[in-house]
Structure formats: structure tokens, C-alpha cells
Structure 1
Amino acid sequence: MLKQHYGVTIKTIINMKKVFLSFCLLFSTVLMASAQLLPTFQLGIKGGLNFSSLKTDGEWLNSSAKAGYQAGIWARLGGAGLHFQPELYITGKNAKAKLTHENNAQVDLNFTSLDLPLLLGTRIGLGPIAARVQVGPVVSFVIDKDNSIFDRIGDATKPGGYRNQAIALTGGVGVDIMKFRADLRYEHGLSSLSKDGTESQKINLWTIGVGYRLW
């Protein structure tokens, strides 16, 4: 009778261990899945180069790209699926232009803007290394410009002045390696820089940026 009781006790203990291990496995799976779905917050710094050009609808101006700079901060909110990434940085945009109405006289366009990209993206990969795809609008506020150059171009199209803000659409790819970030994007101008001119003048640019996650 004691052996029978002892045997039942061992069997019961073995069953309890199986139930306990199964519970631990289920709990770990749920915890890992929840960690992937919970939103995370990141904050970092960013810098890079851009190559911008001025695009027009007419043939009065031919523009070629010229190097500029950008520097600022970025934040990211989101989990393993979609994420939202706003950025804020100072951008120096430069371009070379030839005015056909002045026998292809060459002028340099230089101005500085405060840019605010609002990006939606997705992260492809696990762990500390992953690729990204991002797209979204960019709002730019011109804070400094070479007025003599802009007025000279303005004489050709009679724009009645230049806007101090512009809207663009940007998209590109990136990679995350530990705390480091790298991006390649193309920005297409949607709004014209001229206020009242008949000729549209838009800024398009490629950007190459590197960043570092602080938090």
C-alpha cells in the first residue's frame, strides 16, 4: 500500500513538472511577442551631405547639383512593425544655375533652411542589425538666403518674391547597426519657391546621412 501511494506521488510530481514547464514556455513566448509589439522610443543626433538642384518648367534656367550639409536630431516611436520618425535639422542647400537669357551666365544658389521630415517606415530584421524603408513629407522654413542671387533669378521670371517655406516628399532606405544609423534618401520638391511667377522653381536633392542613437 505504501509502494502504491509512493508511486502515485512520483507520477503526480512528474505531471506537475510537465505542467510547470509548459506554463513557463507559454509565458516566455507571450512575453517575447509582447516585447516586439510594444512601442519603443529612440532619440539621436544626425549629420550628412546633400546634393541639391533647382528644377523649373521652362528652359530659361539649367541647374546642376552642388553639395550642401545637414545636421540635427531625430526621434523614433514604434515597434517591430510600423514606426513614426520625426526629424529636425539645419540644412545648407546649394546649387549651380545657368541663365539662358543671360548667355548662360552661371550663378550659385545658396540658402539655409530648417527642415522637418515626418516619416513613416518599417524595420526589416531582428536584433541590433536591420534595414529600413521610410517615406513622408518634409516642411522647410528658409532662415537665410543669398538675396542678390534670388533677385537676379526673379528678374527672369518676375515672381514677385520668394517664399520662406516649401513642402517636399522624401523617401529612402536605411540601416541600423547597433546604435549607429545610416540613410540614403531622395527629396522631391512639391511647392514652388516663387510666389507669383509663371515659372515653377522647385528644389530636389539627394541626402546621405549618418546618425547615432543617444537613447
Structure 2
Amino acid sequence: MKKYFILLCLFTATVFVANAQLLPTFQFGVKAGLNFSNLKSEDGGWLDASTRTGYQAGVWARIGGAGIHFQPELYVTGKSSEAKLIEEDKKGKVTFTSLDLPLLLGTRIGFGPAGLRIVAGPVVSFVVDKNIGESLRQVPKFSEYKNQAWAVTGGLGLDISNFRADVRYEHGLSELSKNDNAPQKVNLWTVGVGYRLF
């Protein structure tokens, strides 16, 4: 009798956990971090850009169930690069401040308060401020930038209780320059930490 009671308890617990996994959940939190970005010409022949450190701060949400979650995020991001025009022999710092909106799909591996996440998806950036070095501003092909850009990102995350940590790579899809003869894209790595508020 005792054996059947234990089996019944185990079966009930298994059904409860399975049903809980199927129910959608909602999380919301804050996040901040660093990015390491560079501005590249598509052919690599006229622009030599080195990586510089920027920042990222904002909020995230997670809606999920059955092992898959949707994770929209919104950040203020500062991206920077040290650009050198090979043909013009001019160099200077280029910075962008943007509102970035990643729309990610992911899955979580693990149980309880700890788990590993895998995420990927598109990112749309709305540039709110651009600062181009004085020497670069004199070069026509370098002086005009678009106010919106698309990228794709992917990476790994770690959940430990309410704390979050992420490492991602973001690859620029859109040409930032308004000059078709001078295509430029921003690629970056991001490292961030976050906290789940609820």
C-alpha cells in the first residue's frame, strides 16, 4: 500500500511539473553592460576601424512556456569605433547613441533557479545621436549616416535565481552610410548583467 501511495505522489508531481512547464510565464527586469564595437567597410579596402568599448542600459521582458520563450528588450546603447580612412590618411573617433530593440527567441536548459539560455533574433536600432571626428567630417563619403539600422544577434545567457548574465555577438545587416559608394556596418560583442524584478 505504501509503495502505491509513493508512486501516486510521484505521478502527481510529474503531471504538475509538466503542466507548469506548458503554462506561459512573464518576467520583467533591468540590464546593463558593455559592448565592444567596430565600424567596417564592406570590402575592408578603404576603412580600417579598431574596436572600442561602449555601454548598454535598459529593460527586458520574457514571455515563455513549453521550453521556448520570446524576449523583447529595449536599451540605450553607446557604440564607438576608431576609424582610419586608408585612402585619405585621416582618422578619428566615431560614436553612435541609439535605442536598440532586440526581438529574441530562446530556450532555457536547466531546472529550478539555475539555467543556461540560448537566444537569437533581429535587432532594430534607432540612432538618436551621431558624433564624427572633425577630420572625418570633412570627407563627403563619411559624413552622412542613416537614422535606422538592422542587425541580427545571438548568444548565451545564465540565470541564477533573479540574476542574469549574457554574452552575445551582433552582426550588422544594414548599411549605415547614406553614400552607396562607402558602405559601412557596425559589428559588436556585448557582455551584460541583469536582475529580474518580477
**Moved beyond 6 Å, runs of 4+:** 17-21
2:159 aligned to 176, 197, 204, which one?
Answer: 176
What is the number of equivalent residue pairs in this alignment? 197
Higher strand share: 2
Does the 8 A contact of 1:158 with 1:197 survive in 2? no
Distance in 1 of aligned mates of 2:67 and 2:138:
46
- Rounded to whole Å, the distance in 2 between the matches of 1:201 and 1:151 is 14
Q: Which of 158, 169, 179 is equivalent to 1:186? A: 169
| Residue 199 of structure 1: aligned partner | 182
Pairing 1:12-161 to 2, within 5 Å after superposition: 24-58=9-43, 59-103=45-89, 105-146=90-131, 152=137, 155=140, 157=141, 161=144
CA RMSD of aligned residues (A): 2.2
Q: Which runs of 5+ in 2 are unaligned?
A: none
Give 1:199's aligned amino acid. Answer: A
Shift of 1:185: 0.4
Q: Distance in 1 between matches of 2:65 and 2:4?
A: 32
State how far apart, in whole Å, the 1-side matches of 2:61 and 2:97 are: 22
CA spacing shift, 1:130–1:25, aligned 2, 3 Å: closer
TM-score, structure 2 as length reference: 0.90
Structure 1, unaligned runs of 5 or more: 1-13
**1:55 to partner: Cα distance:** 1.2
What TM-score, normalized to structure 1?
Answer: 0.84
Change (3 A) 1:39 1:153: farther
Q: Decide whether aligned partners of structure 1 residues 194 and 154 sit closer, same or farther in structure 2, where only a CA change above 3 A counts.
A: farther
Larger of the two Rg values belongs to structure: 1
